[in-house]
Chain A
Amino acid sequence: MKKEIPLAITFLTGVIIVVTFFIPHQPLGSMQQRLLIWYSIVLGFTTLLGVDSLMGSNFRKVLRRSPGWGYSLVVILGFLITMVTGLWSWIATKSLITLGSPFMFIYTWMIVPLTATMFALLAFFIASAAYRAFRARTLEATLLLVTAAIVMLGRVPIGAKIWSQLPAIQDWVMEIPQMAAKRGIFIGVAMGTIAMSLRVILGLERTYLS
């Protein structure tokens, strides 16, 4: 019951999706479409799981006055204020992306700067890390470094000012050797994915049930 039914569900759904690829006619076509809609709906529920565990741990921290509980309070307040504002905006404007609504105020002036700046920090870290770790110790490392330099200069306007051929060399690197390696990697990943998917459908791979 605990293992057999999930394995049967995986087998059936996987086989139906593969078979309907080859035979999209009725009634199989409709069956596939129904499964795809169900997948879309069920996947939405998983979001709730992640949020619940996050909020639960912060609530516990506040209740127990654990070290840093004040920050957990910020998480909870941020969550509650956004929820209330969102629901209010949704009811008032019929949408959660109506520009000018209070909910979009939070989005524009809080979510956007916070997310964007978090990622912008990486510019500084990548600069520092490159200075510290990017060493031409071996032939491979030198190759990596030289390619990075060609791309970094050839891809921006100053590259052409330094040497007019640099952009063309950059284009060639991206379109021939870089692309060849990526293609090799993607073909390998595709074969791995196909093998793993088959193992999942046939019930040989069961780690998702643990």
Chain B
Amino acid sequence: MMHVIGTWIAAGLTLAIFSFLYKDNPFYKFAEHLYVGVSAAFAILYTWAFDVYPMLIDRFQLERGAERWILLVPTVFGLLMLTRWFPKVSWLSRWAIALTVGIAAGLGITGQVQGILLPQIAGTLLPLTSANNIILIVGVIATLVYFYFSVAQKGAVRLGSRLGMVFIMVAFGASFGYTVMARISLLIGRLHFLVFDWLHLVK
């Protein structure tokens, strides 16, 4: 029974959102606002259930000695983040932001060097023994030249830049093709739900 009720609710909300294709209307607005409210509650509950509760409250009960009290440090930083609610002391939230920004920046440096820069350059160091390898190397260099704005785009740089543009257009065209595929897939998913699960037009 709950399944049937749920299916009808889902179908109603699906059609309400699709009604926007004709024009903006109260059904769409209702569904849109419901989405915002329900999602916000999910965000809070999940933050509590998967972060604050297991990482702080549970840990505080489990740990002993210094390990227990050291948990007060992230708690204080977390609470400092919430000082943004109080304009007079909102500057304290910068301490918490600084902590996250510092760690993210530190990880960013090592991650980008080790995870992107070195392996990607290594992947480009290929022998010029096949047309594909030549195209690949030329494409990477030309794309980099296109984004190199520190020198005037003249002579060889301009040529490289134009070639880079060709490769970039191919990449954007490919991305567009894949994006179309992704969006159509989502539409198929919704129509599949309406036809199979709701209307039972197909078994």
Binding site for B on A (CB under 8 A): 2-3, 5-7, 9-18, 21, 34-52, 54-55, 58, 68, 71-72, 74-83, 86-87, 90, 95-96, 103, 105-124, 126, 130, 140-141, 143-152, 155-156, 172-174, 176-191, 193-194, 196-198, 200-201, 208-209
26 contacts between A and B (CB under 8 A): A2-B91, A13-B102, A17-B103, A17-B110, A18-B109, A45-B47, A45-B82, A55-B40, A71-B33, A78-B33, A79-B41, A86-B41, A96-B49, A108-B10, A110-B13, A116-B189, A119-B183, A120-B186, A123-B183, A143-B173, A178-B175, A183-B140, A190-B117, A190-B120, A193-B109, A197-B109
Contact A41 B99 (CB under 8 A): no
Residues in B neighbouring A18, C-beta threshold 8 A: 106, 109-110
CB contact under 8 A between A105 and B2, given known A34-B70, A120-B186: yes
**Cβ of B1 to closest chain A Cβ, rounded Å:** 12
Question: Contact partner of A7 among B9, B37, B98, CB < 8 A?
Answer: B98
Residues in A neighbouring B116, C-beta threshold 8 A: 186-187, 189-190
Residues in B neighbouring A123, C-beta threshold 8 A: 183-184, 186-187
Q: How far is the CA of A83 from the CA of B73 in the complex (A)?
A: 28
Question: Contact partner of A36 among B49, B103, B120, B184, CB < 8 A?
Answer: B103
Contact B38 A79 (CB under 8 A): yes
Say yes or no: is B159 at the interface (Cβ < 8 Å to chain A). Answer: no
Chief secondary structure at chain B's binding surface: helix
Q: How far is the CA of A81 from the CA of B45 in the complex (A)?
A: 12
Closest to A105 in B: B6
Contact A44 B51 (CB under 8 A): yes
Contact A12 B102 (CB under 8 A): yes
Closest to A77 in B: B37
